[in-house]
């Protein structure tokens, strides 16, 4: 199963991609995760991407397109993949079409998670992450046992710079102008399925599975 999870920042794409992996062993390809790792490791890619990410800008198309093409060549995506956070622009969507054709793959569905803006801002502003092991918490929805500290390793939790309210606003604006139009692009190809992204992660996951299976 080859899927795209489309949706604004904090829509829950990452959570759902992990569930799909647990059930179907189709790897999550998250350009955001790959870029965050590059920033943490201090690589050349990380030096380019870091300041853009921290201010809510997009990383240039040619950079993320190259990352995804390399990843799609790995043997573990032979049985399928879930793209999370890519494509984000019309240029990326066109490039994806071309690279999938070159690799002899095709998309089965593009699932758009629909969540109102106010909810997205609330999710972002309450999120805390462990800088050590990547665990993710939310101050009210899924708080750690000891406020401010990771349950698994005890490290002090931090707020990602791109979860700051003013950056979230900017990312949402960018999503609306540059990424949301991709829904029309994929609807035109008969691939778009919309799913309500408000509710329990388990319920949303069931909806996603049903949508992905629908012809
Ligand atoms: P995400 O975790 O998917 O929300 O991505 C975090 C940040 O990484 C975004 O706000 C962008 O700065 C950058 N990023 C991730 N994926 C892309 C992409 N496909 N195109 C451009 N920038 C991206």
CATH at residue 98: 3.40.50.300
Please say if the pLDDT value at position 42 is more than 90. Answer: yes
pLDDT at 62: 95
pLDDT at 55: 86
Q: Does 155 fall in a domain?
A: no
Q: Taking residues 180-190, report their average pLDDT.
A: 97
Q: Does 143 fall in a domain?
A: no
Please say if the pLDDT value at position 143 is more than 80. Answer: yes
pLDDT at 153: 97
Q: Does 140 fall in a domain?
A: no
130 lines ligand 1 (CB under 6 A): no
State the total domains in the chain: 1
Residue 179: band (very low, low, confident or very high) from pLDDT cuts 50, 70, 90 = very high
pLDDT at 215: 72
Q: Taking residues 71-88, report their average pLDDT.
A: 95
Q: Does 84 fall in a domain?
A: yes
The Cα angle at residue 16 between residues 43 and 123, in degrees rounded to 5: 80
Question: Largest Cα–Cα distance of the chain, in whole Å?
Answer: 50
Q: How far is the CA of 146 from the centre of ligand 1 (A)?
A: 31
Ligand 1 atom having least distance to the Cα of 52? 12
Q: Does 156 fall in a domain?
A: no
Q: Taking residues 122-136, report their average pLDDT.
A: 90
pLDDT at 84: 96
Q: Does 52 fall in a domain?
A: yes
pLDDT at 173: 93
Whether residue 36 lies in the annotated active site: no
Ligand 1 atom having least distance to the Cα of 88? 19
Burial class from Cβ neighbours inside 10 Å (0-12, 13-18, 19+) for residue 124 reads buried
Residue 214: band (very low, low, confident or very high) from pLDDT cuts 50, 70, 90 = confident
pLDDT at 98: 97
Q: Which of 128, 171, 193, 209 is catalytic?
A: 171
pLDDT at 7: 96
Q: How far is the CA of 171 from the centre of ligand 1 (A)?
A: 9
Residue 16: band (very low, low, confident or very high) from pLDDT cuts 50, 70, 90 = very high
pLDDT at 123: 87
Q: Which domain holds residue 194?
A: 2-124+163-213
Alpha helices in the chain (DSSP H): 13-24, 31-41, 44-54, 61-72, 90-103, 117-126, 165-174, 182-188, 201-213
Q: Taking residues 18-38, report their average pLDDT.
A: 94
Give tens-digit pLDDT for 63-74: 999 999 999 999
Q: Does 182 fall in a domain?
A: yes
127 lines ligand 1 (CB under 6 A): no
């Amino acid at each position: 199963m080859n899927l795209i999870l489309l949706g604004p920042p904090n829509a829950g794409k990452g959570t759902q991609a992990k569930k799909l992996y647990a059930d179907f062993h189709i790897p999550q390809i998250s350009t955001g995760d790959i870029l965050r790792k590059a920033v943490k490791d201090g690589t050349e890619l990380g030096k380019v991407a870091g300041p853009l990410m921290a201010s809510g800008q997009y990383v240039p198309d040619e950079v993320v397109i190259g990352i995804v093409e390399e990843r799609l060549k790995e043997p573990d995506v032979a049985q399928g993949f879930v793209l999370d956070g890519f494509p984000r622009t019309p240029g990326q969507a066109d490039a994806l079409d071309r690279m999938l054709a070159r690799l002899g793959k095709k998309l089965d569905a593009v699932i758009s998670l629909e969540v109102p803006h106010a909810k997205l801002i609330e999710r972002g502003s309450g999120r805390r992450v462990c800088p050590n092991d990547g665990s993710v918490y939310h101050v009210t929805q899924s708080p750690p046992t000891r406020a401010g500290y990771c349950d698994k390793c005890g490290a002090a939790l931090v707020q990602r710079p791109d979860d700051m309210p003013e950056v979230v606003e900017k990312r949402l604006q960018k999503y609306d102008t540059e990424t949301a139009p991709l829904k029309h692009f994929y609807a035109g190809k008969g691939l778009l399925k919309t799913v309500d992204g408000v509710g329990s992660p388990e319920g949303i996951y069931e909806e996603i599975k049903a949508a992905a299976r629908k012809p």
